[in-house]
Structure 1
Amino acid sequence: MAGTRPYRSTLRQEHAQQTRRRILEAAASVFSARGYASASLADIAASAGVSVESVKVHGPKRALLLAAFELTFGGEAGESSLTERPEIAAIASLDDPDRMLAELVPFIAAANARTSGLWATFTAAARDDTEVGAVLAALLGRRHADYAAMVALLGERGLPSIARLDEGGRRELADALSFVMSPEGHQQLVGESGWSDERYTSWLLEAVRTLIAAA
C-alpha cells in the first residue's frame, strides 16, 4: 500500500493544477466581460464550477487578475520572464535573427489578441486601485526586461544595426519595441480600427524590422 502514495500525491497535484487553470481561465473571462470592479469572486467561482472558497485559495482579486493575464498571454501563470517560457526559449535559441523575428512577432501578436480585453481591464483597474497599479508596474518592468533581453539576443546574432548601439541606444530600442508590440497596439488597430489579426501581425513584423533597421 505504501507504494501507492506517490501515485495518489501526483494525482492530487495534477487535479489541483487543473482546478487552478480552470479558475484562472474563468477569471480571465469574467474580468474581460465585467471589468475589475464589477467582477466578484462568486462570479469567477460560478464560471469555473467551483466553490468561492476554492477561488479564495488562489489569492485576492488583484492576484487573480495578474495570474489570469499571465496565463492568457504566455500560457502559464507566474511572475516570470517571458524568455523563460519553453516556446520563447526555443525561438531565442535560433541562430538566424530574421527567422527569430519571424517566429517571435507572430507569437506576441497572437498573445496580444488573446489578452486585448483583459489588458484593458487591467489598465483601467490600475488607475483606480493603487495595489493593482503596483502589480501592473511590476509587470511592465518585467516586460521591458524581456525586450531588453530580445535586443541583446539580436545583437549577439550579429545584426549590425544593433551591434553598433551603445547601452543607451539599446535601451531606447527596447522601449520602442515594447511600445509597438504592446497589447494596446492590438486593441487600437484591431479592436478600434477594424484591422484583421492577419493584417495586424503582418504590419507588426514589418514595423519591428523597420525599428531595428533604423536603430
Structure 2
Amino acid sequence: MSTPSSPSRSYRSTLRAEQAAATRRRILAAAGASFASAGYAGTSLADIAREASVSVETVKLNGPKRELLLASFEQAFAGDEGHEGIAEREVGRRIMEVGDPDELLAAWVRFVAEANARAGRLWRSLVSAGTSDPLVREALDAQQVRRHADFRAAIDLFVERGMHRGDAPSDAERDRLADVLSFLASPEGYEQLVDGAGWSQPEFEAWLAGAVRTLVLG
C-alpha cells in the first residue's frame, strides 16, 4: 500500500528539479560561449565545465558535446531549449500580442536582432560542426526546416494583420516571401553588417525594418 508523498518530500523534489534546471541553463550558456569563441572542434567538455564552474561529470550528465552544441544554440537564440517554433514560445506570444502594425514589425525586428547578437557566432560553429559530424548535420537540417516554418508563420501573421500591401499572396508566394525574410534576417547578414561593417544595433534594426517593408510587405 503506497502512502502519499509528504509536503516536505514534494518540496525537496521540486527544489532539486529547479536546481538541476538552473545548472543545465548555466552549462548551456557556458557551452555556447565556449563554442562561439573556440569553435566546435576547439571546445572540450573540460572547457565547458571550467566556464560553468561545475565538474566534467556534471557536464557529461547533461549530454554529449554535439547535444550541448545544439541545445546551447536553441537557448541562446530563443531564450530556452526545445524544438518548438518561435510562435509557440513565450517570446513569440509576446510579439503576437502587439496590436499596432508598426510596433509589431519593430518587435519582430528587435527579436531577430537580439537573437542574432546572442547566437550569431554560435550559429557559425553549428554550421561548421555539421560539415564533419553527420548527426549534427541531420539536426541542422531539421533546424533549417523549423527556421523556414518560423519565417512562414511570420509572413502569415503580417498578412493576417493587413501589413502586406496588394492582393493576398498565395501559398507559393508566401513561401517565397518567407525565403526572402529568412535571407534578410540571417545570422550571416547580421554578422557582416554589425560585426564586419561596424553597424550599431539600432542601425541594423532600422535597416531590417525598411528592407522588410520594401522587399516583403511591399
TM-score, normalised via structure 2 length:
0.93
CA distance in 2, matches of 1:10, 1:160: 47
Match of 2:188 among 169, 184, 190: 184
Shift of 1:196: 1.7
Match of 2:74 among 57, 70, 78: 70
Aligned counterparts, 1:59-138, within 5 A: 59-138=63-142
| Structure 1: runs of 5+ lacking an equivalent | none
Residue 140 of structure 1 is matched in structure 2 by 144
Indicate if the aligned counterparts of 1:28 and 1:69 stay in contact, CA closer than 8 A: yes
- Structure with bigger helix share is 1
SS of structure 2 residue aligned to 1:39: coil
**Stretch of structure 1 that moved more, 136-145 or 79-88:** 79-88
Indicate if the aligned counterparts of 1:162 and 1:212 stay in contact, CA closer than 8 A: no
Q: Which amino acid aligns with 2:210?
A: E
Shift of 1:194: 1.8
CA distance in 2, matches of 1:179, 1:43: 33
Indicate if the aligned counterparts of 1:24 and 1:71 stay in contact, CA closer than 8 A: yes
2:187 aligned with 1:196, yes or no? no
Shift of 1:211: 1.7
Q: Which amino acid aligns with 2:154?
A: M
Shift of 1:97: 2.7
CA distance in 2, matches of 1:72, 1:60: 18
Indicate if the aligned counterparts of 1:36 and 1:121 stay in contact, CA closer than 8 A: yes
Q: Which amino acid aligns with 1:79?
A: H
SS of structure 1 residue aligned to 2:63: coil
Q: 1:75-116, CA deviations, whole angstroms, 9 ceiling, x for partnerless residues? A: 111121111121211211333332211111111111101112
Q: CA RMSD of the aligned region, Å?
A: 1.5
> Residues 145 and 117 (structure 1 numbering): CA distance in 2 closer, same or farther, change over 3 Å?
same
Indicate if the aligned counterparts of 2:106 and 2:209 stay in contact, CA closer than 8 A: yes
Shift of 1:163: 5.0
Aligned counterparts, 1:48-67, within 5 A: 48-67=52-71
CA distance in 2, matches of 1:97, 1:162: 16
Shift of 1:124: 1.3
Match of 1:206 among 201, 206, 210: 210
Shift of 1:158: 2.2
CA distance in 2, matches of 1:39, 1:168: 42
Shift of 1:35: 0.6
Q: Which amino acid aligns with 2:157?
A: L
CA distance in 2, matches of 1:117, 1:148: 24
CA distance in 2, matches of 1:162, 1:34: 47
Indicate if the aligned counterparts of 2:78 and 2:115 stay in contact, CA closer than 8 A: yes
**Stretch of structure 1 that moved more, 162-171 or 76-85:** 162-171
**Stretch of structure 1 that moved more, 183-192 or 205-214:** 205-214
Indicate if the aligned counterparts of 1:147 and 1:174 stay in contact, CA closer than 8 A: yes
